[in-house]
Amino acid sequence: MGREFDLLREAERLLKTEPKLIELPGEGEGVVFVGDTHGDLEASERVISKYLKPGMKVIFLGDYVDRGPASRENILFLLEQKLSHPKDLILLMGNHEGWGITPFSPADFWLELEPEEERLYAKTLAELPLAVTTPNRVIALHGALPEVPRLEEVDEIELGSEQWRAITWGDWADFPGGSLGDHWGRPRFGRGYFEKLMTRFGKNLLIRSHQPDAPEELFEGRCLTIFTSSAYSGLRTTRSVAVTPLAREIRSAEEIEIETI
């Protein structure tokens, strides 16, 4: 356990130096966005092996633990990779990293930890950033968009707040309204809310994960939902990533590549 605890503490120190909103620079070949991996260590290893190369940024959208067979191995592997590639690999927070903020179910990884392990994992993962933007008008996060006056205010979002819940727990539905209320404890939002905030933030495409029963594309291809885990075999039959170039403005999901790993 000594090496594991040392790794978590080292990762916590690094994550504390990152803002909650990470604004990527325009240089480089492209960005790879990775959906929930949920204890699928093989998926994470394949992504790192194939895409974490010079000129590329790799963004994991959260949910590294629970559901799958190798939660501990998966999160430790990703944190080790983060320490080795601090600028080129970004790990965002999903709702399954928020156990210390809002308990949930299923939580098999968390419930199997010893109390001191649980405390340290929760403390470390609470430092994960919340969102990433690119200069060619892409925004990426785990769930839904937060209702903030300016995108930069994501840096000020408090853990456990309504806006934090939108980012980590929020679902989308193809309805014309704004906030559609909670559905099974998850805040749900419609087209009006999506279009209002995307216009406010000056973004064209949202890339997110979290919601396995969502259509891959919503709102004329401006909301893309991807998954990279075998844990949802009944709902998602392929493990996919989104490969996004940086050289031109992106207007919808039709202008990026969805690749199967």
Sorted by where each starts, the structural domains of the chain and their CATH numbers stand as 2-260 (3.60.21.10)
Radius of gyration of the chain (CA): 17
End-to-end CA distance of the chain: 32
Confidence band, pLDDT 50/70/90 cuts, at residue 169: very high
Query: Does residue 199 register a pLDDT over 80?
Result: yes
Could you tell me which residues come within 8 angstroms of residue 20 by beta carbon, excluding any fewer than 6 positions away?
129, 130, 131, 154, 155, 156, 157
The mean pLDDT value of the chain amounts to 95
Query: Does residue 235 register a pLDDT over 60?
Result: yes
pTM above 0.85, yes or no: yes
Q: What is the pLDDT of residues 108-162, one digit of tens each?
A: 999 999 999 999 999 999 999 999 999 999 999 999 999 999 999 999 999 999 9
- Provide the pLDDT for residue 18: 99
Considering only residues 232 and 78, tell me which one the structure prediction assigns the higher pLDDT: 78
Angstrom CA distances, 252 to 180, 217, 249, stand at: 24, 9, 9
- Provide the pLDDT for residue 181: 63
Could you tell me which residues come within 8 angstroms of residue 192 by beta carbon, excluding any fewer than 6 positions away?
176, 177, 178
Q: What is the pLDDT of residues 77-95, one digit of tens each?
A: 999 999 999 999 999 999 9
Identify the bridge partners of residue 240 per DSSP, sorted by sequence position: 260
Q: What is the pLDDT of residues 21-50, one digit of tens each?
A: 999 999 999 999 999 999 999 999 999 999
Instruction: Please report where in the chains the tokens 């919808």 appear, as a residue.
Output: 252
Q: d(Cα 38, Cα 142) in Å, to the nearest integer?
A: 13
Q: Count CB-CB contacts under 10 A for residue 166.
A: 25
